[in-house]
Structure 1
Amino acid sequence: ICLKALAKRATERYTTAKDFADDLRALLARLHGGGPSQSEADSVGPGLSAESGVTGRSLDSTTPRNAPSSTYLPNASHNALRVVPKGLRAFEPNDADFFLDLLPGPRGREGLPESIRFWKSRIDECDRGKTFSVGMLYGPSGCGKSSLVRAGIIPRLNSDITTIYVEATKRDTESRLLQRLRSHSLEIPADYGLARALAYIRQGGGLDNECKLLLVIDQFEQWLHSHGDREGSELAEALRQTDGGRVQCLLLVRDDYWMAATRFMRELEVRMLDGQNANAVDLFRAKHAKRVLAAFGRANEDLPLDPRQMTFEQQRFIDLAVDQLSTAGRVVCIHLAIFSEMVKGKPWTPATLRHLGGAHGVGAAFLEQTFEGGDATPNHRLHQSAARRVLAALLPEAGSDIRGRRRSYRELQSASGYAT
């Protein structure tokens, strides 16, 4: 409560005195033996305690003087931060039990950081006057937007929210949305397109009266990139049917597509207001990035489970790695995950980092060792050329900064040269 009230940024503090008072009353109730209310426990999610979001850890007089800095210590509610690294993949709903501990920022009384509580409170709200019809979660590439929604927000929504999640593509976003709607047994008439289907649900069909449908469209920049400023698109017509109370949509988009996203929202006649229906996901600050990297190291058994047993060289390795991965004091979240995968099984010492050519050289060194190094298996050497062709097929068009499109198994098999 104190950390939230004293946050440097006004946007991270309590927005109203009532919220501040509610948290204080809840604390007093616990101190007098009342414990957290059932609604608070439910809002935290399965497998989590209401106190699980406490950040930092105080060192008492029994802590050894040579213990690691608190930068590497896990949250106070855990002996060690439990993480299951996913590499390049986004975290999913079944990762919800530990995902909160990877997020920065102060927590509310439910143990939720503001990045989750902001969206949960608005999506759970069924009064259309108190929520939004179309919202936008934006941030730089690799900042963890997908993981935040899939492992942080969706698993903690009220049980009466039906969520449809799709990743946008250049061509078939609308058809895949409609297919997912039908697969959820929403009793949509067979001859309805996407816009009519959403209108049908908004008017009371398909769902129980107390339920809401939430559409989540990830990687929305893919759709924006292919459609440009074209008006009257099928998706725009469909999202005009959202009302916030019965049907709602959340778009996830890279921040460098902000102008294109603004034009799209203007076509929907929906105003984008930061703090109401739009919110940013920022990159990690260096201090928090060190905590997360240390957690990945423990999960991969490259660091001791007890952070107090870390050696000076291991601490130095983390400091150097984060320093080399950071730009202007910020670290791209996915870079931490990739880096921890590349150095898995290796000593976490400055000497290892120098041998690999620094944090930025780890990716190239990993591929070279896998296919060309002295320890490369004959099988990897044999398939080196095919692997290069497959990776090339996954790259975006020359001169484009958009993510490469999905490729089918047959397409990749053909690109490899192994098609029969």
Structure 2
Amino acid sequence: MPRAERPLELDGSPLVNFAFDLRTLRGKAGSPSYRELARRAHYSSTTLSDAAGGRRLPSLEVALAYVRACGGDVDEWTRRWHAVAAETAPTAGRSVEDHEGAPYVGLRAYGGGDAGRFFGRERLADDLLQRIGIQRFVAVFGPSGSGKSSLIRAGLVPRLTSTVLAFTPGAHPIEECAIHFAAAANRTTGAVYHDLTGDPRGLHRLVRQFLTAERSDGEIVIVVDQFEELFTLCHDERERSRFIAMLLTAAAADGSRCRVVIGVRADFYPRCALNPELAEALQDAQVTVGPMTPDELRRAITQPAIQAGCTVESALLTTLVAHTHGRAGVLPMLSHALLETWRRRRGHALTLAGFRASGEFDGALVNTAESVFGTFDERRQEIARDLFLRLTVPGEGTEDTKRKIAVEELGDDPVVAEVVDQLTQARLLVRSRDSLELAHEALIKAWPRLAAWLSRDREGQRVHHELTESAAVWERHDHDLDALLRGTRLAVVRDWADSGGCPNVKERLFLDASLAAYEREQTAKRRQIRRQRRSIAVLIVMLLIAASTTVYATSSQLQATRERNVALALNAVNDAAELSRSVPGVAAQLSLAAYRLHPSPVTRDTLISTAGAARRFPFHPGDDSSPVLAGDGRIVLVGRGGQDRTELWSLAEMNVTKAPRTTLLGGRSASVSADSGTAATAAADGTVRLWDIREPAKPRELATLPAAPGSVALSPNGRILVASSADRTPPASVTSDSSEKVTLWDLADSRRPRGVEFRGLPIRAFAGNEVLVTSTAGETATHRGEREQIWDVSSPGSPTLTGESDSQDSQGYIIGKESHFSSYESVGVSKKGGGTYLVWDVKPPRSSRLPALMDTVDGTLTAVAFSANGAFLATADAVGQVTIRNTWTPREPVHIINLPGRAGDLRALAFEPNGRVLVGISFGENPSVWRWSLDTESAAHTACEYGTSRKIIEEWARYFPDVAYRSPCG
């Protein structure tokens, strides 16, 4: 059974009250045993029990582990622990200002006056002194808090025998350099600034002039600490570049008597490397300030105390070295923790108890900042917040940086001066005669309250800093109007001020002056706009009066011109088709000129017709052949039945005289898939051969099928083959008891086709990938003549009859196409009788009739084609006319294309996949391959490929006599 806790004697002491509240927190958590708490907190049960024993204050880590295990508020207990630690310290009650004679400097960097108590960096200081003796330019890099400023100011500068100019660049680095050089040379700042800005060698000349006047053989060492301010505070890129060039020139010039040392925060190394001159100078001129070794840390901790007549407890020394070794940027917090421990020293000894009472290593700085901030009332806290934000620059890809400000930026408010004095006495701020800055950037990272302020509105802080700098420029230029904010910058600053920003008196005066100037400018613009509007109104009235007198005359002239243009354009296109037989290029350009003169469906289609005639290529398939055109218009199969072979023509280059011609075995019948990838040929020996023709010049035989076919047909996707024993071109007139043999082949595996007999039905065509149309002739009780039967062959092994058509003409033919354009799945065309054709849906739900999609199409058709999505239907008739219809509005043709006279009959049509180009093959006097660009601009481009000739100028004068010549392609 666990032992009961020792009762507490509630004497009102802070330590006992702290222990009592810990026990109360444990009770609220359900009074878990200390063994259970140890499991949760990862500390021993004895350690946790002692924490609530009331005899001594536990460490912050143990106290917070106890609180977390009981579900308490960590932030609240952290503040509570620091308060108790301060009250129970051995020398509690000493004022914050009690720093006189302290052996440690706290947050601020060691300066020249602190050289006697600067220990631990002797080896690095010797190395830096040796490097500056050899090289004229040295850069000291180190993380924030690594001690680089202390190394330069307390380790290097006091040991130099030369004249030293040490400064930080600030917002105007050349001006800062001029101020310090003028003080050393006893000259006016204005004259020195003029010399520095007039020439990059100005600093070099000033150094030599100064040393000559002093009659000295020595040199000047220019020390620029916190060099990163060049990127955080100086926003003038030109001034920044001039300052860098000025330093490097002074160090590298012939006869130079100047050496330069810069101290740079390590995270700004990439910004330095972006300057080519500085990057070159840094190649072999770097000293890196890294973490201190344990021996160096021990000297830095113990030697200042020994000089002050104090000792450092061994336990404290061990704890401090363990906390500090290997950690970057912690030296300011170490120095501050030592200072606070010295304030709580026991006699002449710095003890571990005093260190813990100060808030330990990470808490000492927070404890100091919070203790001072906690003494302020609400107004002073708001002033302190604004002050710390002014002294900090939000990083852009780097850590946040401290910012030095002029004391005059704070104004004359005595309450502000009081807050500054208290923060300075606590060594949180460092104040010189005319400037103020944070004691160290470590405060930015270590103080949670400041970090929260910074994260709350980082963009607002950047706006505030810009306002401050702009107000300073305005002051320096004696309230020049050109220095006021305008446009977007003014709008951003005004929004910041209206949303809770806190500008000081000078900034508010500057912002008010900018707003007043903006309002004056807007008022002047409004007056000017009103004057302009009145002038414009008068001019408009005068123009309307003048225009009204010419409207009647010009409208009559325009109407006459339009009527003349229509007549000339129609006269030109009437002759263009016949002209295209002899001079196709001239005919195409003449049609283009007519279209430009009067755009209309007639002139547009004539342009498409003549441009296609200009792109016509001869085609010589032979007398005993019939062409089969692929659905994408890229391949033509020419079957030669007498020779039992099929020629494969590639139209890819639209020049069949040079196109590859490859012979395939079998010439009785041929078929090709819609994508020009697969072909099938029927041979005289009763076999069907499948071919891979994706490379037309190198067709590859895939399989030979045992059959006795008269015709073959491939589905558009090439997956199903139908072979029949009767020829289907033209279709045979067979009776219903025909014994024609039809075989369906499943080509899913093209090397192992599977066939099934499909008896007694002559093949007509595929209507889509999985719909087969067959025909049957004869007379039934309800029907006389030929009918089309629609079969679902999605499963080739078991075809299913889904419907019948009412076509009356047994000499007609049928084609089909899957449609992705409308709600219909497939559309087809078949001959109805009397020289008309019916377009209908060939894949309805299971029914005995096929609903028609459109009215009949008149004429004797020689070729039919659907676009890839089934939206457009192209038909060619016996008089050489091609009509393109929208399948939804068939009685309103989209295009009417005419072939030149005696060009022959079109035997095949196909749309290219994009639907904007139609390919055709004609037989007759001049067999040809045609290619019509249905897009007007593409047709115009084709017409203009032939250039301008004298003939087109002559034809222009003939057809457009009253119109000045203007090249239709110009």
Where on the TM-score scale, by shorter chain, does this alignment land: which range?
A: 0.5 to 0.7
Selected match of 2:394 from 357, 376, 397:
397
Partner of 1:115: 124
Q: 1:207 aligns to what SS in structure 2? A: helix
Cα deviation digits, residues 245-279 of structure 1 (max 9, x gap): 41221111011111222333x324744244xx211
Taking structure 1 as reference, are residues 205 and 370 closer, same or farther at Cα in structure 2, changes over 3 Å only?
closer
Selected match of 2:301 from 293, 296, 303:
293
Distance 1:343 1:213 in 2: 40
Question: Which protein, 1 or 2, shows the higher relative CO under an 8 Å CA cutoff with sep ≥ 6?
Answer: 1
Cα deviation digits, residues 12-46 of structure 1 (max 9, x gap): xxxxxxxxxxxxxxxxxxxxxxxxxxxxxxxxxxx
* TM-score, scaled to structure 2: 0.28
1:240, distance to aligned residue in structure 2 (A)? 3.8
Partner of 2:261: 250
8 Å contact from structure 2 (residues 167, 177) kept in 1: yes
Selected match of 1:360 from 351, 355, 362:
362
Taking structure 1 as reference, are residues 261 and 382 closer, same or farther at Cα in structure 2, changes over 3 Å only?
closer
Instruction: Choose 1 or 2 for highest CA Rg.
Output: 2
Matching of residues 301-320 of structure 1 within 5 Å: 305=310, 307=311, 314-320=313-319
More strand by share: 2
Does 1:86 find its partner at 2:87?
no
Distance 2:279 2:293 in 1: 35
Does 1:406 find its partner at 2:398?
no
RMSD: 3.7
1:287, distance to aligned residue in structure 2 (A)? 4.1
Q: 1:86 aligns to what SS in structure 2? A: coil
Which letter does structure 2 place at the counterpart of 1:151? A
Does 1:137 find its partner at 2:134?
no
Q: 2:319 aligns to what SS in structure 1? A: helix
8 Å contact from structure 1 (residues 317, 349) kept in 2: yes
Cα deviation digits, residues 80-110 of structure 1 (max 9, x gap): xx984222222222333343xx024xxxxxx
8 Å contact from structure 1 (residues 201, 247) kept in 2: no
Partner of 1:262: 273
Q: 1:193 aligns to what SS in structure 2? A: helix
Identity of aligned residues (%): 21
Partner of 1:31: none
Partner of 1:167: 168
Taking structure 1 as reference, are residues 388 and 154 closer, same or farther at Cα in structure 2, changes over 3 Å only?
same
Selected match of 2:222 from 215, 229, 238:
215
8 Å contact from structure 2 (residues 267, 399) kept in 1: no
Which letter does structure 2 place at the counterpart of 1:254? R
Q: Across the two proteins, how many residue pairs are aligned to each other?
A: 301
Distance 1:262 1:398 in 2: 18
Distance 2:139 2:361 in 1: 33
Taking structure 1 as reference, are residues 296 and 283 closer, same or farther at Cα in structure 2, changes over 3 Å only?
same
Taking structure 1 as reference, are residues 406 and 247 closer, same or farther at Cα in structure 2, changes over 3 Å only?
same
Does 1:103 find its partner at 2:113?
no
Distance 2:184 2:113 in 1: 20
Which letter does structure 1 place at the counterpart of 2:222? L
Which letter does structure 2 place at the counterpart of 1:285? T
8 Å contact from structure 2 (residues 291, 327) kept in 1: no
Distance 1:386 1:299 in 2: 39
Which letter does structure 2 place at the counterpart of 1:141? S
Q: Structure 2 stretches of 5 or more lacking a match?
A: 1-100, 418-504, 506-970
Which letter does structure 1 place at the counterpart of 2:317? I
Cα deviation digits, residues 216-253 of structure 1 (max 9, x gap): 11100110335689578221331242245412211110
Partner of 1:343: 341
8 Å contact from structure 1 (residues 325, 335) kept in 2: no
Q: 1:279 aligns to what SS in structure 2? A: strand
Partner of 1:11: none
Distance 1:135 1:218 in 2: 12
Distance 2:128 2:318 in 1: 33
Cα deviation digits, residues 309-350 of structure 1 (max 9, x gap): x6xxx3213322343345x36673212211122333225544
Partner of 1:199: 204
8 Å contact from structure 1 (residues 221, 254) kept in 2: yes
Which letter does structure 1 place at the counterpart of 2:298? K
8 Å contact from structure 1 (residues 165, 218) kept in 2: yes
8 Å contact from structure 1 (residues 324, 358) kept in 2: no
Distance 1:198 1:272 in 2: 20
Does 1:272 find its partner at 2:275?
no
Which letter does structure 2 place at the counterpart of 1:121? Q
8 Å contact from structure 1 (residues 296, 337) kept in 2: no
Distance 1:218 1:103 in 2: 20
Distance 1:325 1:240 in 2: 36
Distance 2:406 2:206 in 1: 33
Distance 1:239 1:172 in 2: 14
Partner of 2:960: none
1:172, distance to aligned residue in structure 2 (A)? 1.1
Taking structure 1 as reference, are residues 184 and 382 closer, same or farther at Cα in structure 2, changes over 3 Å only?
same
Q: 1:85 aligns to what SS in structure 2? A: coil
Taking structure 1 as reference, are residues 98 and 398 closer, same or farther at Cα in structure 2, changes over 3 Å only?
closer
1:138, distance to aligned residue in structure 2 (A)? 0.9
Partner of 2:322: 323
Distance 1:227 1:172 in 2: 6
Which letter does structure 2 place at the counterpart of 1:162? T
Which letter does structure 2 place at the counterpart of 1:402? D
Q: 1:206 aligns to what SS in structure 2? A: helix
Which letter does structure 2 place at the counterpart of 1:213? I
Which letter does structure 2 place at the counterpart of 1:318? L
Partner of 2:181: 181
1:137, distance to aligned residue in structure 2 (A)? 0.9
Distance 2:286 2:303 in 1: 30
Which letter does structure 2 place at the counterpart of 1:367? A
Say which is worse superposed, 280-289 or 248-257, in terms of deviation.
280-289
Distance 1:186 1:355 in 2: 51
Taking structure 1 as reference, are residues 229 and 338 closer, same or farther at Cα in structure 2, changes over 3 Å only?
same
Distance 1:394 1:382 in 2: 19
1:417, distance to aligned residue in structure 2 (A)? 6.2
Partner of 2:624: none
Distance 1:187 1:418 in 2: 35
Cα deviation digits, residues 34-66 of structure 1 (max 9, x gap): xxxxxxxxxxxxxxxxxxxxxxxxxxxxxxxxx
Cα deviation digits, residues 190-212 of structure 1 (max 9, x gap): 6422434313146x422136232
Matching of residues 55-94 of structure 1 within 5 Å: 84-94=103-113
Distance 1:200 1:214 in 2: 15
8 Å contact from structure 2 (residues 390, 403) kept in 1: no
Distance 1:366 1:155 in 2: 31
Matching of residues 153-164 of structure 1 within 5 Å: 153-158=156-161, 161-164=162-165
Which letter does structure 2 place at the counterpart of 1:185? A
Distance 2:403 2:268 in 1: 17
Q: Structure 1 stretches of 5 or more lacking a match?
A: 1-81, 105-112, 125-130
Which letter does structure 2 place at the counterpart of 1:316? A
Cα deviation digits, residues 109-139 of structure 1 (max 9, x gap): xxxx442233333444xxxxxx434321111
Taking structure 1 as reference, are residues 342 and 192 closer, same or farther at Cα in structure 2, changes over 3 Å only?
same
Q: 1:205 aligns to what SS in structure 2? A: helix
Taking structure 1 as reference, are residues 416 and 259 closer, same or farther at Cα in structure 2, changes over 3 Å only?
farther
8 Å contact from structure 2 (residues 115, 154) kept in 1: yes
Distance 1:257 1:229 in 2: 17
Q: 1:233 aligns to what SS in structure 2? A: helix
8 Å contact from structure 1 (residues 88, 338) kept in 2: yes
